[in-house]
Structure 1
Amino acid sequence: MNTFLVLFQKEWRENIRNFKILWIPLVFILFGITEPVMNYYMPQILSSVGNLPEGTVIEFPSMTSEQILMSTISQYQLIGMLVVILAFSGIISRERKNGTATLLYVRPLSFTGYVGSKLAILSIIVLGSFILGIVASLYYTSILFGAIDFLSFIEFTSIYVLWLLFVISIVLFTSAALSTGMASSVSFVLVIIVQVIDGLLGTYWTISPWKLPMYAGYVLNGDVESSSYIWSILITILAISFLLMGAVFFTKNNVWKAKI
């Protein structure tokens, strides 16, 4: 436990020094605020800067509060996930490359605690950033488009938090197993590209960790199909467990790659 706390303090100080503790939440909050505000004021913006003929009336289909929140999530699915991958894909592999890992490995070290400290800091930053961003989005959405059922919002947020834990587990696993460049590429494929494939071909299956954001939207709208939804949650939890165990295994077995 003491080792974990020491390693966690190290991670915390490092993320304060490189300002990840600040700029990543700001990215999520920015998109959380921008999405409802832009959708609400878009007709006025286009009317004032669009150089349209006098008397032109621009009509947009009215959006529900639930659709605005899902629009925010779609921003997180691309830009938010890219931020997470690029910011943290070297969280383990970079320490092997720059020699920091060697300073740690020569001491009595629990590899479970080592990976656990990184899991803890990623969870605090990524999940905290998402919660701040989605609460900001909820606030402006409620003001501009109407209130959202609180219990549905909590379940919606919980499902997306599970998806983020899955993404964090992928990032940790790839960083433990591969070099930083390869970890970034593989994480990008597994998180972004597989999402695109699932969106294009996903009608052929209903159970997958990559469907959690979609099911989060269904929960928000109150029309989720329970069986596939529950199985997707269970499989995601199982996948997270295997990825984290794999991260510990590869961290331990790649000690020899640490720069001296």
Structure 2
Amino acid sequence: MKPFFILMNKEYFQMIRDFKIIWLPIVFIFLGMTQPVLTYYLPAILGALGGGQGITIDPTMVQQEGGQVLATTLGSQFDQLGIMIIVISMMAMIQADKASGMLAFILTRPVTVWSYIAGKIISNYLLVIVSVTFGYFVSYLYVSYLFTDVPISHMLLALLIYLTWVLFMVSFTLMISTIFNGQGVIALIGIVFLLICRMIIGIHPTIDLINPAGMSQHAMSLLVTGSVDSSLYVNLIITFLWVLFTLLVSHFWISQKKFQQD
């Protein structure tokens, strides 16, 4: 366990040096406050700027239920800009160690590949959890003030469900960071793939069942309707299997030292 904790400390030290531990939560706090504020004040802003001519504003927009607005924060902010930010902030998880030669050096030490991978994904996932949670709670406070209250039990359960989808984002980014060498390629593949996963939700029930992004949809549904669909549990298990698959691919790639091949 000692190598694992050493690697965790190394990751957090690097996050502090890169100020990631500061700017990532701030970005998600901004995303969290954006949706409820824009939803509530957009008609007034358009009217004040004189830009409402020819535009019909739905008068029920500011009368939405709090759960609907909070769900929109997940779907419109975290699942769009949020995905891009997570991938860009995590794309160098393994790639940076490959480029600097640190990965090859670490593998010559008494460190198992699993310890290395676990240190990477746990430290980065914890940072993303803190960032997303801060943004989500800020959104919840604005929603409670500007709209109607959302039951705390629904709010917390929806967050836990959504964080499962976030776990897949991080593990998938780790996998492609292991396989590919260029940060631009890693960012492009990660962002496009995860956005596609999110966009195809609702096309077919079977696709929703095996799609990790279905966890986001379940979280939103809980906030809007106050209940969860029975398919949640199957989707949850399949999402964890996808996470395990990404970790196994990363382990195989590193243990076979395929990262040294161009």
State the shift of 1:222 in Å.
Answer: 2.1
Question: CA-to-partner distance for each residue in 1:17-75, whole Å, 9 max, x for gaps?
Answer: 1111111111110011121122112222111112567xx99553221101111111121
Segments of 5+ residues of structure 1 without an aligned counterpart are none
Checking the alignment, whether the CA contact within 8 Å between 1:176 and 1:248 is kept in structure 2 is: no
State the shift of 1:204 in Å.
Answer: 5.9
Question: CA-to-partner distance for each residue in 1:175-231, whole Å, 9 max, x for gaps?
Answer: 1222234332332232112322335x33564412221111111122224321x2211
Question: Is structure 2 residue 19 aligned with structure 1 residue 15?
Answer: no
Q: Who is 2:177 aligned against?
A: 175
The match for 1:224 among 221, 224, 228 is 228
Question: CA-to-partner distance for each residue in 1:99-150, whole Å, 9 max, x for gaps?
Answer: 2223323322211111111112211211110101101110111111021111
Amino acid of the structure 1 residue aligned with 2:195 = I
State the shift of 1:14 in Å.
Answer: 0.6
TM-score, scaled relative to structure 1: 0.90
Provide the C-alpha distance between the structure 2 equivalents of 1:163 and 1:139, rounded to a whole number of angstroms.
Answer: 23
Q: Who is 2:42 aligned against?
A: 42
Q: Who is 1:27 aligned against?
A: 27
- Number of residue pairs matched by the alignment: 255
Q: Who is 1:211 aligned against?
A: 214
Q: Assess, with a 3 A threshold, how the Cα gap between structure 1 residues 52 and 87 changes in structure 2: closer, same or farther.
A: closer
State the shift of 1:243 in Å.
Answer: 1.5
Provide the C-alpha distance between the structure 1 equivalents of 2:8 and 2:96, rounded to a whole number of angstroms.
Answer: 17
Provide the C-alpha distance between the structure 2 equivalents of 1:30 and 1:247, rounded to a whole number of angstroms.
Answer: 33
Amino acid of the structure 2 residue aligned with 1:49 = L
Q: Assess, with a 3 A threshold, how the Cα gap between structure 1 residues 57 and 240 changes in structure 2: closer, same or farther.
A: closer
Residue aligned with 2:30, SS: helix
Aligned-pair identity in percent equals 28
Checking the alignment, whether the CA contact within 8 Å between 1:37 and 1:140 is kept in structure 2 is: yes
Q: Who is 1:242 aligned against?
A: 245
Checking the alignment, whether the CA contact within 8 Å between 2:179 and 2:259 is kept in structure 1 is: no
Provide the C-alpha distance between the structure 1 equivalents of 2:68 and 2:142, rounded to a whole number of angstroms.
Answer: 13
Provide the C-alpha distance between the structure 1 equivalents of 2:85 and 2:239, rounded to a whole number of angstroms.
Answer: 22
Provide the C-alpha distance between the structure 2 equivalents of 1:17 and 1:258, rounded to a whole number of angstroms.
Answer: 30
Provide the C-alpha distance between the structure 1 equivalents of 2:197 and 2:157, rounded to a whole number of angstroms.
Answer: 24
Q: Who is 1:71 aligned against?
A: 72
Q: Assess, with a 3 A threshold, how the Cα gap between structure 1 residues 52 and 127 changes in structure 2: closer, same or farther.
A: closer
